[in-house]
Amino acid sequence: MSTQQTDATGNDELDKNAPQEPSNEAVNPDLAGKNEGEPEGQNPAAPHPSPQGVEPEVRGSPLDFTGIGEASDDDGLAKLAEELDSLDPDKILSDSDKKNSENSKKQPIQNEKIAELEAKASDLSAQLDDVRDQLLRKTADFDNYRKRMNQEKQKAIDFANESLLLDIIPVMDDFERAIQSAETSEELKNLPAGKVMLDGITMIEKQLVSKLENKWGLKRYNSAGEAFDPNLHEAMLMEKSPDIQDPVVQEDFIKGYMLKDRVIRAAKVKVLMPEDND
């Protein structure tokens, strides 16, 4: 009897000293509160299968997304507030002062560059004005040169036959002297064909003079009775007269000729000169 008690007592002590195994509730919280009559492995929180035709009951409230945006805005404002709190006003002011000092140092350099560019622009503007003035002068010179060359070309064309016409002029002088001699000759007038011959020679001379004048610009001018002009007349004889105040051509010995507007042979004349008052 005592022995059994001793064993029982010893077993109790052994049970007390032996490590206790953790209970199912401590190992798996999901098993906490499980009824003894429920089968093992079934979660009491899981919904029970519903009979056919019956909607299963959803435990808990429907999904609610309200407040998510507000929470994110609150978080952003909180972060912004933390960043503002972390800023050092003294450091910001010092950085601003550094930038201002750097800008103040750069300002004179910029002003110098601006002044240099303005000086270059002024120099280039002066050079442009000089080039423009030179261009205008060159253009005017070239225009004058072109006009002068055209005039010289036209003169070369107009007076290209001058030497030929100078050779023809003596023949015309002979025609003129022959007509004058025939008009004063009594013998020629007495001939039966004298008047017809004179008229023929006169007609040929007039036709030649007209052709040379109209086609080639060779013109014969009369000087008798005109004021003496040394550019047109060559004085062969001079005679004083009390009836005149200025020199006057009294007689043509040889008539003068002009080609276009140029005198190619001056008229040889006799000039009346006024008497001296002495």
Query: Which two three-digit tokens encode residue 22?
Result: 């953790």
Contact present, 232 and 267 (Cβ < 8 Å): yes
Contact present, 271 and 237 (Cβ < 8 Å): yes
Which residues make Cβ contacts (< 8 Å) with residue 204, sequence separation at least 6?
A: 175
Cα separation, 13 vs 7, in Å, equals 10
The predicted structure's pLDDT at residue 121: 92
Cα separation, 83 vs 91, in Å, equals 14
Q: Identify the helix (H) or strand (E) that includes residue 146.
A: helix 89-158
Q: Encode pLDDT of 70-89 as tens digits.
A: 445 667 777 777 776 666 66
The predicted structure's pLDDT at residue 55: 47
Q: Is the dihedral of CA 41, 45, 50, 55 positive or negative?
A: negative
Q: Identify the helix (H) or strand (E) that includes residue 271.
A: strand 267-274
* Closest to 157 in 3D by CA, of 225, 91, 94, 217: 217
- For 219, other C-beta atoms within 10 Å of its C-beta total 15
Q: Encode pLDDT of 181-212 as tens digits.
A: 888 887 777 777 878 888 888 999 999 999 99
Residue 238, strand partner residues: 271
Q: Quick one: 218 exposed, middle or buried, by C-beta within 10 A (0-12, 13-18, 19+)?
A: buried
Cα separation, 168 vs 211, in Å, equals 12
Cα separation, 246 vs 266, in Å, equals 20
The predicted structure's pLDDT at residue 7: 44
Cα separation, 147 vs 69, in Å, equals 91
Which residues make Cβ contacts (< 8 Å) with residue 164, sequence separation at least 6?
A: none
Which runs of consecutive H residues, i.e. helices, occur in 159-260? 162-184, 186-190, 194-216
The predicted structure's pLDDT at residue 242: 86
Q: Is 0.75 surpassed by the pTM of this model?
A: no
- For 271, other C-beta atoms within 10 Å of its C-beta total 20
**Per-position pLDDT tens, the chain of length 278:** 444 444 444 444 444 444 454 444 444 444 444 444 444 444 444 444 444 444 444 444 444 444 444 445 667 777 777 776 666 665 555 666 666 666 666 677 778 888 889 989 999 999 999 999 999 999 999 999 999 999 999 888 888 888 899 999 999 999 988 888 888 887 777 777 878 888 888 999 999 999 999 988 899 998 988 999 999 999 999 988 888 888 999 998 999 999 988 899 999 999 999 887 54
* Closest to 183 in 3D by CA, of 169, 198, 196: 198
Cα separation, 271 vs 247, in Å, equals 7
Query: Which two three-digit tokens encode residue 224?
Result: 């008798």
